Amino acid sequence: ARDKLGISWQSCENEKQGMLVMSWEGRVGGSGVEPSEFQLYVMALSALWADAGIQEAYARRSEFQLSESVKYFLDNLDRIGQLNFIPSKQDILFARKATKGIVEHDFVIKKIPFKMVDVGGQRSQRQKWFQCFDGITSILFMVSSSEYDQVLMEDRRTNRLVESMNIFETIVNNKLFLNVSIILFLNKTDLLVEKICTVDIRKNFPEFRGDHRRLEDVQAFLVQSFSRKRRNRGKPLFHHFTTAVDTENIRFVFHAVKDTILQENLKDIMLQ
């Protein structure tokens, strides 16, 4: 990405380090890499991450596809590169992987059984969604709130947030979900807080009104943008701002969502 963006190395020595890391990357299989082998590349990775050219490329990451967990792991290279490294809970939370296919989770909370069906959000995965919709009581619609300046991996043109809004519009107005509670999760609040300080949302959403550096204004705009997609404004739209790597935040939101689902189901039962 650095090369394609026309960014020079700060240190010419790092070109060799980059070639070393790229040659290693091609040998890493799906089973991962042994700590002893990874340790051989820690110094090279650290040198690259400290290079001003790489930092400039990272600052322009909206222009190419890059996992949002990269900074966390590269900032923690000294710890991760130890031979006796054991991943922490936080490390595991940052080790994100896109959902592919359909994954079901069954669990019980206070003697009440729940079934959660997780479906991939990529375009290639969406044709599988309708297999899961029979008998559902709620839809948890997850959106990355920080992706207002990023484009889809599939076509490298469509704004990711616009794509999410279009999908949401299709779902929220579908007759199949007339009696289904829809709960909007605007995730990655931590990244949104960082991004609004450097990336003006008005560049991609000129209709935005308010202080583009004020979190509350940006969040209000996001909620309004999704809410306007509903034809039936009388039906409530529940929403939560979340940070998936913040366990306390997710625990609080999850309990709130559980109560919402139970209350909405109780209303449906009483109306039958």
The full set of domain ranges for the chain reads 13-94, 133-271
Any binding-site annotation on 14? no
Residue 55: its pLDDT value, please?
Answer: 94
Residue 109: its pLDDT value, please?
Answer: 75
Q: What angle do CA 59, 61, 67 make, to 5 degrees?
A: 120
φ and ψ at residue 251, rounded to 5 degrees: -60, -45
Which class for 101: exposed (0-12), middle (13-18), buried (19 or more C-beta within 10 A)?
A: exposed
Any binding-site annotation on 119? yes
Quote the pTM value.
0.77
Which class for 165: exposed (0-12), middle (13-18), buried (19 or more C-beta within 10 A)?
A: middle
- The radius of gyration computed from the CA coordinates of the chain, to the nearest angstrom, equals 22
Any binding-site annotation on 121? yes
Any binding-site annotation on 97? yes
- 105: helix, coil or strand? strand
Residue 104: its pLDDT value, please?
Answer: 79
Written out in words, the top-level CATH class of the domain with range 13-94 is mainly alpha
Any binding-site annotation on 150? no
Any binding-site annotation on 93? yes
Any binding-site annotation on 61? no
Any binding-site annotation on 268? no
Q: Are 134 and 176 in contact (CB under 8 A)?
A: no
Q: Position 121: which residue type?
A: G
Any binding-site annotation on 98? yes
Instruction: Give helix 52-59 / helix 35-50 axis angle, nearest 10°.
Output: 80
Same fold, 13-94 and 133-271: no
Any binding-site annotation on 205? no
φ and ψ at residue 141, rounded to 5 degrees: -100, 110
**What does pLDDT average to in each consecutive run of 10 residues of the chain (272 residues)?**
85 88 69 78 92 92 86 94 91 80 78 76 61 76 93 86 92 85 92 95 97 98 96 86 88 81 61 42
Any binding-site annotation on 256? no
Any binding-site annotation on 189? yes
Written out in words, the top-level CATH class of the domain with range 133-271 is alpha beta
Q: Position 233: which residue type?
A: R
Q: Are 60 and 195 in contact (CB under 8 A)?
A: no
Residue 111: its pLDDT value, please?
Answer: 79
Give the pair of three-digit tokens for residue 21: 């890391």
Q: Could you please report the per-residue DSSP string of 7-19?
A: PPPSSTHHHHHHH
Residue with tokens 């139970």: 262
